[in-house]
Amino acid sequence: MTLLAEINTDDEIAECVYKPIAGERPLWDFPDGTLAGREVATYLVSAATGWQVVPPTVLRDGPFGPGMVQLWMDGDPTVDLLDLARSDRPALRRMAVLDVVVNNADRKGGHLIPMPDGHVYGVDHGVCFSTDPKLRTLLWRWAGRPLNEEAVEMLELLSNELYGDLGAALEEHLTLTEVRKTRTRVATLLRTGIHPEPSGEWPALPWPPI
Ligand SMILES: Nc1ncnc2c1ncn2[C@@H]1O[C@H](COP(=O)(O)OP(=O)(O)OP(=O)(O)O)[C@@H](O)[C@H]1O
Ligand SMILES: [Mg+2]
């Protein structure tokens, strides 16, 4: 269940997305933890990259109990999301790298939020961090191509973080094996130096694409 909600502090009001854990449908391939926890874990990885792919996301209490709360980003509704997904914007290339790291099983067009300044946010990360290869995305444009310098630098940083505070924070939301596999995916990216191609073990494209 996904709700549009409002958060109020003394001096600010903001719109947000609220997905209560109580409204989650159980998924056979994501038996552990919660989808909300996976959303927060993806935010934590994004925050560690400094790339701001994922809008600020926390786990907190709400009217239907604890859930994930994510800041609403006012995207440009006139952008064609399938055209956008095929474009070579730097923000999408970064998102493609992040999606490999978190093993995103659902990067469809509707999960792209294009901002007026050219940035693109990614949302809906409930089905990330499987221990099986499940990357399903529209962002295959760079597959087989070398990672660029900023990606390699970021991955080196992320690799350290995953053995430190970030790893510890992820363990609050994911299983130990899922955190270990995340380290392995980063190590593999650094070793091969390329954007991976579809594994062949899993549908590579989301359906429907939007
Ligand atoms: N933080 C956000 N900022 C702006 N728009 C958002 C945000 N989160 C979600 N949305 C919009 O709301 C839609 C639904 O959110 P989301 O995909 O996370 O929920 P869902 O329950 O998986 O819905 P669906 O089944 O349609 O994918 C997204 O496709 C996107 O257009
Ligand atoms: Mg969705």
Q: Does 97 map to a domain? A: yes
Q: Does 200 map to a domain? A: no
Q: Does 41 map to a domain? A: yes
Count of domains in the chain?
A: 1
Domain that holds residue 188: 3-192
Binding site membership of 154 for ligand 1 (Cβ less than 6 Å): no
pLDDT tens for 120-144 read 999 999 999 999 999 999 999 999 9
Residue 201: what pLDDT?
Answer: 82
Residue nearest to atom 31 of ligand 1 (CA): 110
Q: Does 153 map to a domain? A: yes
Residue carrying the six token digits 């609050």: 172
Q: Does 160 map to a domain? A: yes
Tell me how far apart the terminal alpha carbons of the chain are, to the nearest angstrom: 18
Q: Does 204 map to a domain? A: no
Residues near 165 by Cβ (< 8 Å), separated by ≥ 6?
Answer: none
Q: Does 161 map to a domain? A: yes
pTM score:
0.97
Average pLDDT, stretch 68-87?
Answer: 97
Indicate the pLDDT class of residue 199, thresholds 50, 70 and 90: confident
Q: Does 66 map to a domain? A: yes
pLDDT at 202 over 90: no
Distance 142 CA to ligand 1 centre (A): 25
Indicate the pLDDT class of residue 70, thresholds 50, 70 and 90: very high
Indicate the pLDDT class of residue 48, thresholds 50, 70 and 90: very high
Residue nearest to atom 23 of ligand 1 (CA): 2
